[in-house]
Amino acid sequence: MNTNQDILLTIAATLRSFLDPLLGNPDVVDVTMYGVALAAILGIIFGNAVILVWAERKVAGYMQSRPGPNRVGPIGLLQTVADTIKLITKEDIRPKGVDRWVWFLAPVVLFVPTLAAYAVFPFSEGLIAVDLNIGLFYFLAVASTVTIPFLMAGWSSNNKYSLIGGMRSVAQMVSYEIPLVFSLIGVVMLVGSLKMSSIVEAQSGIWFIFLQPVAFLIYVIAATAETNRTPFDLVEGESEIVAGPMTEYSGMKWSLFFLAEYANLFAVSAIATTVFLGGWQPPPMPAVMRDAVAFIPGWIWFAAKTYFMIFLFMWFRWTFPRFRVDQLMSFGWKVLLPLALANILVTGVGIYAYRIAIGG
């Protein structure tokens, strides 16, 4: 533990000591604190979406030599707020032929795995909602169900473009989930644990991006596909199938899809930060400099690295053309998967050789 306490941890401890005499029962306090953590995560997701929508349009603007949103608020910062108000006041149209319940539930269900995944993100030392022993595996398991709401939306809309989009989402997400999982296995083998805090602590000497560069590359590609972003945005490819599963949605339901997209983008970036970029730890540096930056709390480092990853994903979006469906499939199965398997083999042999070398 650090000597200088993290301000967010201090707040949590103060809240706990305030609730203790108020509620009496320690179990009730625990449950309440889980509620506080949930509220904090919701705050991160919503606040983040507001910033990311603005950031995406600004980045797009700079990539295309134009200013981007710049009318509402300083440098256009309040643009998303204005857009949100517009979306809330829009009419919520329900087409006649939709499968009522499934159609209504799809954008709501979409949010469940996303929200559940945030529970295991180590924002800083000790700043994690639930530090599960199987943290990373839990994230992968929860993330694997994201396909279902897309298919629900695509099928229930009773629209051929929506259904094509839904079917594409199954093909794409299931195919790219496998290299995604395999790319993380190399790191898990090095750490010997699935616990998020252990994975971060194991990187105090060297970040895993340097030990597992191929795995990082595979992860970034597969994560782009999992979040349905360009060059893998075939699911909603607007020049081919209108907006894929979202075609028939309007108003607040449509904006829920939008919100979930940015929440997922933050999620995959946070996992990349945790697994490959050292999580909440400052970059490796000489001891003198380490003391100089010791006052910066872990969550600042975590946020900085995560936003760098998000910028990278936005950069991809505005510089790469979209894949074709057959290219998407052959690239996933014939390039990424063998590469990920080879990476696991090399990592295993490397660990074995290292153990022999140090005589363990």
Q: Which residues bind another protein (CB under 8 A)?
A: 25, 27, 30-31, 99, 101-102, 132-134, 137-138, 140-142, 144-145, 147-148, 151-152, 155, 163, 167, 170, 173-174, 177, 193-195
The CB-of-141 to another protein minimum distance in angstroms stands at 4
Looking at the Cβ atoms of 131 and 300, the one nearer to another protein is 131
Looking at the Cβ atoms of 264 and 306, the one nearer to another protein is 264
The CB-of-198 to another protein minimum distance in angstroms stands at 10
Looking at the Cβ atoms of 133 and 204, the one nearer to another protein is 133
Looking at the Cβ atoms of 170 and 217, the one nearer to another protein is 170
The CB-of-102 to another protein minimum distance in angstroms stands at 7
The greatest distance separating any two alpha carbons of the chain, rounded to the nearest whole angstrom, comes to 71
Looking at the Cβ atoms of 147 and 273, the one nearer to another protein is 147
Looking at the Cβ atoms of 141 and 300, the one nearer to another protein is 141
331/327 Cα distance (integer angstroms): 6
The CB-of-29 to another protein minimum distance in angstroms stands at 11
The CB-of-40 to another protein minimum distance in angstroms stands at 20
The CB-of-199 to another protein minimum distance in angstroms stands at 13
Looking at the Cβ atoms of 72 and 102, the one nearer to another protein is 102
The CB-of-48 to another protein minimum distance in angstroms stands at 25
